[in-house]
Amino acid sequence: MGDEESRGSLAAMIGSTAQDYLKTIYKLRDSDGLVSPSLVAERLAVSPPAVTKMVRRLVELNLVRIERGQRIALTPAGEKIALEVIRHHRLLELYLKEALGYSWDQVDAEAERLEHHISEDFEDRIDALLGYPTHDPHGDPIPTRDGVLPADSHHRLTSLEPGEEAVIRRVRDGDPELLRYIGSLGLFPDTAIQMVRKEPFGGPLRVRVGGRECAIGREVGDSVFVDLVSTGDEPVHRKEATDVGSGSA
């Protein structure tokens, strides 16, 4: 079987539901590469017995394995499929926005419906048409054709201190209504932002975007991820925890 024929052949064989499980396991796994069945059930809105049944099938296909505490881990083959589905999803999101005029709050649901049904040739044509992009409309990294997801760790906007400047890199895309609100504030990827003031006792954040100052809630601030910049526009590295870009795809 040639490379073009083999790419995606196993993914197509296992079906869209199993692909969704692999993608979800990939996105939910912790720093050890593990995730609990209950968390998978919660994210997919299915029953624990349904998860048990699917995981058993995926184990038989050597796509997942069961580790300590009955937690789930992807095998290399399972991770490859998960990344291929994520690649389809994020390329489709960008295509829907750039070529078809969808807004950034509409593309996730539409891409979710299409991601299992495009061929590898169609994927390659979208990739070329878009100029081989590295990020989707929300700033999430697009896995490469070879199944590599670039490192993409950023600070939450809420971690900025007054006076600090940053560039927005990624916005969580799981809630269309929240995305519309974030967009109305101009908080798009690659936009410069400055923390002006943080009101005490969990109050709003005062930020400056595009020459204007506005107040945003902490929930919004936790949904926006940034790279800090120094006076010389060089990234500032901190030791506190950062969030790895995974988006909702």
CATH of the domain at 166: 2.30.30.90
Q: Is residue 115 part of a domain?
A: no
Count of structural domains within the chain: 2
CATH code: domain of residue 56: 1.10.10.10
How far, in Å, CA of 220 to CA of 185, rounded? 10
Q: Is residue 136 part of a domain?
A: no
- Share in percent of the chain as helix, strand, coil (round to 5): 40, 20, 40
pLDDT number for residue 231: 54
pLDDT number for residue 216: 95
Which residue, of 51, 78, 105, is where some domain finishes?
A: 78
Q: Which residues of 91-123 are buried (b: 16+ CB within 10 A; e: fewer)?
A: bbbbbbbbeeebebbbbbeebeeebbebebeeb
- In Å, how far are 58, 89, 95, 221 from 98, measured between CA atoms? 36, 14, 5, 26
Q: Is residue 94 part of a domain?
A: no
pLDDT number for residue 69: 82
Q: Is residue 52 part of a domain?
A: yes
Which residue, of 43, 78, 113, is where some domain finishes?
A: 78
Q: Is residue 43 part of a domain?
A: yes
What distance lies between CA 146 and its chain's CA centroid? 18
pLDDT number for residue 248: 64
How far, in Å, CA of 143 to CA of 72, rounded? 22
Q: Is residue 25 part of a domain?
A: yes
Q: Are residues 74 and 157 in the same domain?
A: no
How far, in Å, CA of 169 to CA of 240, rounded? 18
Q: Is residue 169 part of a domain?
A: yes
Give the predicted TM-score (pTM) of the model: 0.85
Q: Is residue 146 part of a domain?
A: no
pLDDT number for residue 232: 53
pLDDT number for residue 178: 94
The ranges of the chain with pLDDT < 50 are: 1-5, 233-237, 239-245
Q: Domain containing 20: what range?
A: 3-78
